[in-house]
Amino acid sequence: MTGLALNCTINRKSLFDRKHYFYADMPAGYQITQQRVPIAVNGMLVYSYFEGRRRNQVVTKSVKIKQIQLEQDSGKSLHDDERSQTLIDLNRAGVGLMELVMEPEMCCGEEAAAAVRELQLILQALGTCQANMAEGQLRVDANVSVHRPGEPLGVRTEVKNINSVRHLAKAIDYEIQRQMEVLQSAGKVLNETRAFDSKSGNTIPMRDKEGLQDYRFMPEPNLPPLFVYESEASVPAGVDPAQVVVIDRLSGQLPELPSVKRTRLVETYGILQEHSFTLVNEDGLIDYFENVVQTTKAEPRKVIGWVIKELMGNLNSQNLNVSQSPISPCALAELISLVESGHISSSTAKQVFQEMWKAPEKTVGQIVKEQDLWMINDKEELQKICKRIVDSHPEEVQIIRGGNKKVLNKLMGEVQRETKGRTDPVQIRAILEKMVS
């Protein structure tokens, strides 16, 4: 499914190989992998990221996928510098994993981070991996080399087991700079394995590869070739189609992928492209947004403002996810509808939102009624309030009559303060302008 989602060619017959090497984290002395004919080849990952000083310019790029293969995971070395010893965790040694190899087509940490972020979203949409890097469900090895334009690719180093997208970008950018400095000072870049130290922001040597390794690959004698089939019609007679992998069947099960979701959100709701990224990146946020849109008559562009600024602002400040929001889509829709119908002002609605967050058991109507936050629409009452403000600010009135209309904003602010934001600014401006003229 991952191969199909990344536009790969799926090999109908793929083979397993043994890769021999001695290292403490692989006690068998070899690793089962797919060196000759992996399960998927020649794919493409399209990814986008924001560029520019204001971070509002979307750049879309692509990177070729060389192959996707099945292989065994290794164990994990835990170095204890204080006791000068190394511990080995073999819990995952021999467990199957999926390795995805990209071509060397990216130029900086920002590009690599954006590509891995998009890959995470695709894997999560497919359900082929939860892709939580902090928990080790997805790990990244970054191969970095530098070269002058027109010259062959330089000697590469490999930064192993990077566990976050942010660390990935930092590790790559540091390594690029380090290699350039080595070459500019007439040194040589070593073909070595390095680790990223998140505290210092540096990469540090782990072990050198001592030139080209001879892994003595050989066909895996205990595993037969893996066959997959184009369609049910191509499954050999006597083989139950339900017991084999059928490409057509998998293609029909592919969900809506992140890039398609973003395009649909922009086209369907007329929202900004950067907002579509936020909706797709946060688990459960698309459903929340669409539930609100379907429950209120407000424009989707107004709804997205509430979802991104108010909802996500509160969730992020308390380190909560969307499913933990104390305000349901229905409750937010009710609040937005009161603003749209003119029953409460937008500034009042923000106060109500914070009250709803603290007391989710109360309805929007209860909060508005208890705190007497309904909009003042009675013209006579509004006239009296404006008259009081005008009478108590004779100096400002004289300045306005002298031609400085900006001072009118101060009188409007006084009205808003007295009414606790329960008036329509357009209506108040019109009344004040008439009074001071």
Q: What is the pLDDT, as a whole number, of residue 40?
A: 98
Beta strands in 36-153 (DSSP E): 40-51, 57-72, 76-80, 85-89, 96-102, 140-144
Beta strands in 73-183 (DSSP E): 76-80, 85-89, 96-102, 140-144, 157-162
pLDDT value of residue 342: 84
pLDDT of residue 54: 63
Mean of the per-residue pLDDT values for the chain?
91
| Predicted local confidence at residue 164, as pLDDT | 94
pLDDT at 80 over 90: no
- Percent of the chain scored above 90 by pLDDT? 70
Structure-token match 């459903």, residue found: 287
The answer, yes or no, to whether residue 149 has pLDDT greater than 60, is yes
pLDDT at 207: 66
Whether 40 and 5 have beta carbons less than 8 Å apart is answered as no
User: Which pLDDT does position 53 carry in this prediction?
Assistant: 64
Position 301 scores a pLDDT of: 94
When pLDDT is averaged across residues 134-155 and rounded to a whole number, the result is: 94
pLDDT, residue 214, reads 79
For 255-289, write each residue's pLDDT tens digit. 999 999 999 999 999 999 999 999 999 989 999 99
Confidence of residue 166 (pLDDT cuts 50, 70, 90): very high
* pTM metric for this prediction: 0.84
Phi–psi pair at 368, nearest 5 degrees: -65, -40
User: What would the mean pLDDT of 230-249 be, rounded to a whole number?
Assistant: 93
What is the spatial distance between Cα 118 and Cα 332, in angstroms, rounded to a whole number?
Answer: 30
pLDDT bucket at 127, cuts 50 / 70 / 90 = very high
Q: With 80 as the cut, is the pLDDT of residue 73 above it?
A: yes
pLDDT at 375 over 80: no
What pLDDT sits at residue 348? 87
The answer to whether the beta carbons of residues 194 and 162 sit under 8 Å apart is: no
Confidence of residue 121 (pLDDT cuts 50, 70, 90): very high
Q: Which residue has the higher pLDDT, 254 or 57?
A: 254
Closest to 110 in 3D by CA, of 58, 49, 178: 49
Q: What pLDDT does residue 175 have?
A: 97
Q: What local confidence, expressed as pLDDT, does residue 229 receive? A: 96
Query: Which pLDDT belongs to residue 315?
Result: 96
Burial of 98 per CB tally in 10 Å (0-12, 13-18, 19+): middle
The answer to whether residue 211 scores a pLDDT higher than 70 is no
Return contacts of 202-207, CB within 8 angstroms, 24+ apart: 202/174, 202/178, 203/157, 203/159, 203/171, 203/174, 203/175, 203/178, 206/160
Query: Domain residue spans in the chain?
Result: 2-219, 258-370, 379-436
Mean pLDDT across 59-63 = 95
| Long-range contacts at 229-237 (CB < 8 A, ≥ 24 apart) | 229/12, 230/12
Q: Domain 379-436 - what CATH class?
A: mainly alpha
Average pLDDT over every residue of 70-97? 91
The whole-angstrom separation of Cα 107 and Cα 385 is 63
Q: Are 292 and 331 in contact (CB under 8 A)?
A: no
pLDDT in tens, 23-59: 888 889 999 999 999 999 999 999 998 886 666 788 9
> At residue 415, does pLDDT exceed 90?
no
